[in-house]
Amino acid sequence: MELPYTNLEMAFILLAFVIFSLFTLASIYTTPDDSNEEEEHEIKGKEKKRKKSEKKKNCSEEEHRSEAVEL
């Protein structure tokens, strides 16, 4: 009966499995950096505020244009 893989192929398969398992366990048991998450939330909050202020500016400009046309 022949073996399906040579010794070298089995070594690479086992090595790949061990490395994949280590990366999987590391991703499960490590905690994300909380300071990076807080910075991302602050940046997103600032972008939302900026978009709201831009919408207000656009509305006021349109109102001024309509008033100028009426005069």
How far, in Å, are 51, 53, 68, 69 from residue 63 at the CA level? 19, 15, 9, 10
Instruction: Tell me the mean pLDDT in the region 2-7.
Output: 89
Chain centroid to CA 42: 15
In contact, 66 and 58? CB cutoff 8 Å:
no
Quick: pLDDT tens for 26-71. Answer: 999 998 776 666 666 667 666 666 766 666 666 666 665 665 565 5
Measure the CA–CA gap between 39 and 30, rounded to whole angstroms.
19
Please say if the pLDDT value at position 17 is more than 80.
Answer: yes
Where residue 3 falls among pLDDT bands split at 50, 70, 90?
Answer: confident
* Extended beta strands in the chain, E state: none
Q: What is the pLDDT of residue 2?
A: 84
Is it the case that residue 8 has pLDDT exceeding 80? yes
> Which residue type sits at 12?
F
